[in-house]
Structure 1
Amino acid sequence: MNEREVIDWIQKRAPNFGNGVRVGIGDDCAVYRPTAGEELVFTTDFLIEGRHFTQPAYSPQDAGYQALARGLSDIAAMGATPRFALVSLAIPEVAFVKPFYAGLFGLARKYQVTIAGGDLSKSDRVHCDIVVAGSLPAGKAVLRSGARPGDYLYVSGPLGTWKKKPVPRLDLAERVRRDASACMDITDGLSMDLDRLLRASRVTCELTTPPPVRRGATLEDAWHHGEDYELLVASPKRLGKPFHEIGIVRKGRPGSPIPPKGWDHFR
C-alpha cells in the first residue's frame, strides 16, 4: 500500500463514537466541541521499539494495544472519561500498520474512544506517539498534588509483574473523582510514583502495610518493578475493595520513606 491507501484504510476502520468530535481523520486538524461545564484533560506517551517493547516478544497487535492503554491509564488517574485519541506512527515496513491498528482499535472500541487523527511516517524502528483526551466536570480533575496529612494511601490492585496487555483502571475513574484527594497511575514502580505524589503534595507518609504482590512476583518487585498500570490513591476516606491500604499521609519533609528505585529513562 502507498501512503494514501494506508490513510484510507485507517479512516474507514477507525472507531468513531462522536464524543464531541465534529471533524476527525482526513482534515488538517480534528475539531472538538465541548459541552457546558466540561473540562478536558490531555496526556501524551511514547511507545518506542527497543525501549518500551521488542519484537517478536511483542506482536504488532500487542504494541498497538499498549500504545493506547498507556494513555487510558493516565486518563483514569485523573478521574476522567476518555473521549478521543490522536495517533502518530513511524514504522520500518507498511506491513506493520494493519495489525498494529487492529490492536489499538480493539481497545478503543472497548472504551468507546474515537480515533480522531494522527500522522504516519517511515523510520528504522517503530515509534508511536499517542495523545489521549478525556473529559470530566469542570474543576473535578484529580491531581497528584492534592494529598493532605491524615489521608489514607491506597493501591488499586496487586503489583510486581510486567503486563503485555495492561487493563487501564477506567472502571475506577468515577470513584477516584468522588473519593480521592490525589491520584496517579503506577507505571515506573510504586516506590518512584509514591515519591512523586508525595513531593507534588509537599508531604511525606507513614507506611503501615506492604503493597499486595501479584503471583510470581516478590515484594521487591511490587515496590520497584513498574508497568503495573494500577492506581495510587490518597483519600480522606476509608476505601473498600479493590483498594488496598498501604499507609497514611503525614506532615514532614516531602517524599517517600522508601528510596525511589523504579524506572528512570535517564538513569
Structure 2
Amino acid sequence: MNGLARKLVAEFLGTALLVAVVVGSGIAAQQLSPGNVGLQLLENSTATVFGLAVLILVFGPVSGAHFNPVVSAADWLLGRRQGTGLSATELVSYIPAQVAGGVVGSVLANAMFDLSVFQISTHDRITSGHLLGEVVATAGLIAVIFALARSGRAALSAATVGAYIGAAYWFTSSTSFANPAVTIGRIFSDTFAGIAPGSVLGYIAAQILGAALGLAAITWLYPGSAATADNVTVPHESAEQLPASS
C-alpha cells in the first residue's frame, strides 16, 4: 500500500470513528438520561473530547488527523506558495475519504445500539443562531489548529483541539459540528446527534465561511503560517516519506 493510500485509510477510519463516538455517545446519552437534555449534552461532549484526542494521537502521524474537509482545504490553501501542506491530489482524495468515513461512522453507531442501520435524521437545526454558531465554531477550530502549528506546539493538538471542541459544544448554539464530513455523516442517524438533510447545506456554507474567517485571522496574526502547513493537525510524514509495505 503506497503512502497516499495509507493517508486515505487513516482519514477514513479516523472520521468514521469520530462520528461513531459522536453519534454513539449521543444515543447512549438518550438512553441513560431520558428527558434531561443538559445531561445528555454533557455526556455527548465528554465522550467526544476524549475520543477526538485519542483519534488524533492514533492517526495523526500518518495523515495529520484532519478528519475534516475544511481543515484539509485550509492546509492546502495555506501551503501553496511554499509547497507545504497537502498537495491538490491529496486534497481531492482526502475529502471523499472523510465524507465516506462520516457516513460509515453513523451506520456503525446505529448498528452498535441495535437501531435500524440506515436512518435519515428528522432533527431540524437550521436557525440563524445555529448558522452563526457554526461560523464561530469553525473559525475558532481553524485558528486553534494553525496557531498551534505556527507556534511550534502542534504536538499539543490532541488535547487542545479536543478541549476546544468540547467547549464549543456548550458555547455555540449549534453544538459545534464545525466539520462538513461529520455534518453529512450525522444525516444518517435519527437520534440526539442527528441533523436533518434540509439543515445540512446551510451548516456546510457556514462552516466554509467560518474556515475562511479563521484562516484570514491566523495568516494576519502569524504571517509565517505557510511554512508550517505540514504540521496540521499534527506533524506527519509526506506520502513520499511513508515507508512502503513489504
Tell me which interval the TM-score lies in, with the shorter structure as reference length: under 0.3
TM-score, scaled relative to structure 1: 0.22
**Computing the radius of gyration over CA atoms, which structure comes out larger, 1 or 2?**
1
- Greater helix content: 2
**Higher strand proportion (structure 1 or 2):** 1
